[in-house]
């Protein structure tokens, strides 16, 4: 049975009221969603919030899933939207303009958030910490494209679908993000 | 960046929908354009560094099971009062109460099992068992007493023999002592008696002399007259 078939079987069981099927379905994707949350939000606690919101969203909307797309794509669309919502709420609480973060360089505000977050110390490797630091210097829109393309191995077509943007915009954002990351790495090598 | 194709080509490079023809054209350009080649290598390196991410373990959480179960339990309750298992504890409690009130007992034997109500037959059975048990206990106690008695008697005999042996030795020693003592006493008594006789003889002699002197005196006075 393929992953897609297994997902569909589990979804059918969940809709029939099986808690075991629900737990199995969550277990299949929780690690991917959580790690995505750490990379996008910059901390484990925010990633945990995102994880819970995503699966609550999945649970509430599972009956609307028609199976015309992959469940993983549908799930990551929800995760994408929840990440934007969570990020917006965080920024509103911190008194920072949402549009400014979305379009422009979020470095200052994100770094400030991160410094206040003791949970960052729980990152399980220095390598992960460096990756999060680099990603945190990207605007959320670019960060999301990098996440979907690099870590979730989506095509630009799928990314465009998830983000409701054109494929070309997705490609442009991805290229811009990689260039920015490369520049950051070069600066890091010059000033370690 | 002087090559005008770099941006466009690199944007397309990571596209999965790049046609075979476009990819060949792209590789041909890379072979000729060092700038694009270096830029692509850098981007690939950047992507590789990102892919070095080590997955973090998800902290423990209930996976939304509480909500799931709660909401599905609510849904099942709506189908009727007797549709769920919510009455099971009450029924079990009532059954236990009935068993206690009726003093119900179940007896398992070779021919199967029997259910008793009221407990009289059970009491008879218990009495019988108790009698058997008591007889067994009495027999065991008597056996123990007998064994204890025989062992005690044996011990007593040994003890008595030991005492007698010791007593015989001491009695013999005592008799010797007594014999010596009696002998000494006898000799001393003989000496005393001898002395006594001597004194008595001396006393008698003195008396005789007094009598003789008195007789001489009397005879002398008669003569004088």
- State residue A11's pLDDT score: 92
List b or e across A36-68, with b for residues whose CB sees 16 or more CB atoms inside 10 angstroms: bbbbbbbbbbbbbbbbbbbbebbbeeeeebeee
Share of chain A above pLDDT 70, in %: 82
Residue B20 Cα distances to A20, A100, A154, A175, B28, angstroms? 46, 40, 20, 21, 12
Q: Please give the average per-residue pLDDT across B47-63, as a whole number.
A: 90
Looking at the predicted structure, is the pLDDT value of residue B38 above 80?
yes
Establish how many alpha carbons lie within 13 A of residue B191's alpha carbon, considering only the half-sphere containing its beta carbon. Answer: 6
* Chain B environment of A48 (Cβ under 8 Å): 59, 61
- State residue B3's pLDDT score: 83
- Is B192 a domain residue? no
Q: How far apart are CA B22 and CA A121, in angstroms?
A: 46
Distance in angstroms between the alpha carbons of the first and the last residue of chain B: 206
Looking at the predicted structure, is the pLDDT value of residue B97 above 50?
yes
A118 close contact with B: CB closer than 8 A: no
Q: Please give the average per-residue pLDDT across A115-120, as a whole number.
A: 46
Q: Cα distance from B3 to chain A (closest Cα, Å)?
A: 16
The residue ranges of every structural domain in chain A are 3-190
Residue identified by tokens 């599972």 is A62
The distance from CA A29 to its chain's CA centroid, rounded to whole angstroms, is: 13
- Which among A89, A135, A92 has a CA at the least distance from the CA of A114? A135
- Mention every residue, 6+ apart, whose C-beta is less than 8 A from residue A147: A36, A39, A40
Q: Count of CB contacts below 8 A, A vs B?
A: 102
Lowest mean pLDDT among A95-104, A121-130, A170-179, B19-28: A95-104
Q: What is the largest CA-CA distance in chain B?
A: 211
Domain carrying residue B19: 6-50
Chain A residue with the nearest C-alpha to that of B43: A178
* Chain B environment of A55 (Cβ under 8 Å): 63-64
Lowest mean pLDDT among A36-40, A44-48, A90-94, A144-148: A90-94
- Is B37 a domain residue? yes
B 37-66 residues inside an 8 A Cβ radius of A: 42-43, 45-47, 49-59, 61, 63-65
- Taking the model in full, what pTM does it have? 0.57
Number of Cβ within a 10 Å radius of residue B30: 18
- Is B13 a domain residue? yes
B83 close contact with A: CB closer than 8 A: no
A178 close contact with B: CB closer than 8 A: yes
* Chain B environment of A159 (Cβ under 8 Å): none
State the burial class of residue B67 (Cβ atoms within 10 Å of its Cβ: 0-12, 13-18, 19+): middle
- Is B31 a domain residue? yes
Q: Which residue has the higher pLDDT, A145 or A107?
A: A145
Q: Are strands B112-116 and B105-109 parallel, antiparallel or unpaired?
A: antiparallel
Lowest mean pLDDT among A97-101, A121-125, B88-92: A97-101
A149 and B69 within 8 Å at the Cβ level: the answer is no
- 3-class SS string, chain B: CCCCCHHHHHHHHCCCCCCHHHHHHHHHHHHHCHHHHHHHHHHHHHHHHHCCCCCCCCCCCCCCHHHHHHHHHHHHHCCCCCCCCCCHHHHHHHHHHHHHHCCCEEEEECCEEEEECCCHHHHHHHHHHHHHHHHHHHHHHHHHHHHHHHHHHHHHHHHHHHHHHHHHHHHHHHHHHHHHHHHHHHHHHHHHHHHHHHHHHHHHHHHHHHHHHHHHHHHHHHHHC
Out of A27, A124, A171, the one facing B11 most closely (by C-beta) is A171
Residue identified by tokens 């910490």 is A129
What stretch of H or E contains A127?
A: helix A126-135
For chain B, the domain total comes to: 1
- State residue A177's pLDDT score: 94
Q: Which residue has the higher pLDDT, A191 or B212?
A: B212
Q: How far apart are CA B139 and CA B147, in angstroms?
A: 12
Looking at the predicted structure, is the pLDDT value of residue A135 above 90?
yes
- Is B16 a domain residue? yes
- Which among A68, A57, A73, A86 has a CA at the least distance from the CA of A159? A73
Share of chain A above pLDDT 90, in %: 49
pLDDT band at A96; cut points 50, 70, 90: low
Structure tokens at B127: 């009495």
Convert the pLDDT of each residue in B148-164 to its tens digit: 888 888 888 888 888 88
Q: Please give the average per-residue pLDDT across B79-107, as a whole number.
A: 76
CATH (residue range A3-190): 1.10.1740.10
- The answer to whether A36 touches A151, Cβ cutoff 8 Å, is yes
- State residue A178's pLDDT score: 93
- State residue A100's pLDDT score: 54
Beta-bridge mates of residue B105: B116
Q: Please give the average per-residue pLDDT across A60-74, as a whole number.
A: 86
- Is B181 a domain residue? no
A55 close contact with B: CB closer than 8 A: yes
- Helix (H/G/I), strand (E/B), else coil: A1: coil
- The answer to whether B52 touches A127, Cβ cutoff 8 Å, is yes
Number of Cβ within a 10 Å radius of residue A9: 14
Looking at the predicted structure, is the pLDDT value of residue A31 above 90?
yes
Q: Cα distance from B72 to chain A (closest Cα, Å)?
A: 6
- The answer to whether A113 touches A42, Cβ cutoff 8 Å, is yes
- The answer to whether A153 touches A122, Cβ cutoff 8 Å, is no
> Over chain B, what is the mean pLDDT?
83
Chain B residue with the nearest C-alpha to that of A39: B53
Q: How far apart are CA B45 and CA A186, in angstroms?
A: 11
Q: How far apart are CA B202 and CA B196, in angstroms?
A: 10
Q: How far apart are CA B30 and CA B11, in angstroms?
A: 14
Q: Please give the average per-residue pLDDT across B174-185, as a whole number.
A: 89
- Is B38 a domain residue? yes
Q: Which residue has the higher pLDDT, B102 or B42?
A: B42
Q: How far apart are CA A155 and CA B146, in angstroms?
A: 99
Q: Cα distance from A156 to chain B (closest Cα, Å)?
A: 7
ipTM above 0.85, yes or no: no
């Amino acid at each position: 049975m393929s992953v897609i078939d297994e997902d569909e079987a589990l979804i059918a069981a969940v809709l029939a009221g099986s808690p075991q099927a629900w737990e199995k379905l969550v277990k299949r994707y929780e690690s991917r969603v959580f790690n995505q949350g750490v990379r996008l939000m910059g901390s484990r606690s925010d990633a945990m919030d995102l994880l819970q919101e995503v699966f609550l969203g999945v649970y509430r909307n599972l009956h609307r899933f028609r199976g015309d797309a992959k469940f993983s794509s549908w799930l990551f669309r929800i995760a994408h939207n929840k990440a934007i919502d969570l990020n917006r709420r965080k920024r509103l609480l911190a008194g920072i303009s949402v549009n400014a973060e979305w379009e422009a360089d979020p470095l200052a505000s994100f770094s400030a958030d991160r410094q206040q977050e003791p949970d960052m110390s729980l990152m399980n490797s220095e390598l992960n910490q460096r990756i999060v630091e680099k990603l945190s210097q990207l605007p959320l829109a670019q960060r999301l494209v990098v996440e979907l393309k690099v870590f979730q191995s989506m095509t630009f077509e799928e990314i465009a679908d998830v983000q409701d943007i054109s494929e070309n915009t997705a490609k442009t954002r991805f290229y811009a993000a990689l260039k920015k990351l490369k520049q950051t790495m070069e600066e890091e090598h010059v000033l370690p | 960046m002087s090559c005008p194709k770099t941006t466009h080509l690199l944007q397309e490079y990571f596209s999965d929908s790049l046609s075979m023809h476009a990819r060949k054209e792209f590789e041909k350009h890379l072979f000729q354009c060092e700038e694009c080649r270096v830029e692509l290598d850098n981007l690939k390196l950047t992507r590789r560094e990102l892919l070095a991410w080590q997955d973090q373990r998800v902290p423990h959480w209930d996976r939304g099971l509480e909500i799931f179960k709660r909401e599905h339990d609510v849904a099942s309750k709506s189908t009727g009062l007797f549709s769920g298992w919510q009455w099971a504890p009450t029924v079990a409690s009532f059954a236990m109460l009935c068993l206690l009130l009726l003093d119900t007992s179940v007896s398992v034997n070779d021919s199967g099992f029997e259910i008793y109500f009221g407990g009289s037959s059970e009491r008879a059975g218990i009495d019988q068992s108790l009698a058997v048990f008591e007889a067994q206990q009495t027999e065991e106690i008597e056996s123990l007493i007998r064994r204890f008695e025989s062992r005690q008697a044996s011990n007593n005999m040994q003890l008595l023999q030991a005492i007698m042996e010791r007593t015989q030795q001491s009695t013999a020693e005592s008799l010797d002592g007594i014999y010596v003592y009696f002998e000494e006493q006898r000799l001393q008594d003989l000496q005393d008696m001898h002395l006594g006789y001597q004194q008595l003889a001396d006393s008698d002699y003195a008396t005789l002399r007094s009598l003789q002197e008195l007789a001489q005196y009397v005879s002398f006075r008669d003569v004088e007259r």
